Structure formats: C-alpha cells, structure tokens
C-alpha cells in the first residue's frame, strides 16, 4: 500500500497568498485553504498574519489573536482531536 498512511501531519510554517492560507507540513505537503473558511484569520491585517506561532507541531496561533487553530480543522477532521485547557 502506498501513500501517507499512518503519517501524522506536522506543521513547519504558514504563508498567505491571494486570499489563501498555505500550511507547509514537515513531510513536504502544502495544504492550501481559502481564508473564507477562517473568518477570524481573514479579519487580521496582513501584517498581523505574519506574526504566527506553531504550537506542538499540530496547532498555530497569531500574536494578535486569542484563537488557537489545529491542523485537523484545516484538514476537515476536527472530530479527530480534542483540546483540553
């Protein structure tokens, strides 16, 4: 069997271009998603979007935001993770 079976996606970096967010993963994949799926990120100024932080290779946040996003939210698998404070 071929493919990415059993590989846990881990974030390497983020970038933004033409209304899309690009998640660069450690395994070489780049996941692009329209910012319309993330209105809270879309509201941030361009300069604010450059001030991001990766959390445990699975999540990310922005300095000027109280939100924490998980990679599974981008992949459409939000039910596969849980976040506990």
Domain boundaries, the chain: 11-80
- In SS3 terms, 31-82 reads as EEEEHHHCHHHHCCCHHHHCCEEEECCCEEEECCCCCEEEHHHHHCCHHHCC
Predicted pLDDT of residue 7: 79
- For residue range 14-50, what is the model confidence (pLDDT) as tens digits? 999 999 999 999 999 999 999 999 999 999 999 999 9
Q: Read off the tokens for 81.
A: 């993770």
11-80: which CATH topology?
NE0471 N-terminal domain-like (3.30.2020)
Q: Read off the tokens for 74.
A: 């981008």
Grade residue 84 by pLDDT with cuts at 50, 70 and 90.
very low
User: What pTM was estimated for this model as a whole?
Assistant: 0.80
- The Cβ of residue 69 has, within 10 Å, a number of other Cβ atoms equal to 22
């Amino acid at each position: 069997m071929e493919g990415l079976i059993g590989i846990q996606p881990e974030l390497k970096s983020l970038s933004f271009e033409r209304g899309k967010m690009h998640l660069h993963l450690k395994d070489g994949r780049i996941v692009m998603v329209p910012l319309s799926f993330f209105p809270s990120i879309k509201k941030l100024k361009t300069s604010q979007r450059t001030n991001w932080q990766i959390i445990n290779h699975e999540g990310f946040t922005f300095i000027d935001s109280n939100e924490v996003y998980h990679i599974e939210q981008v992949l459409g698998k939000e039910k596969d993770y849980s976040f506990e404070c």
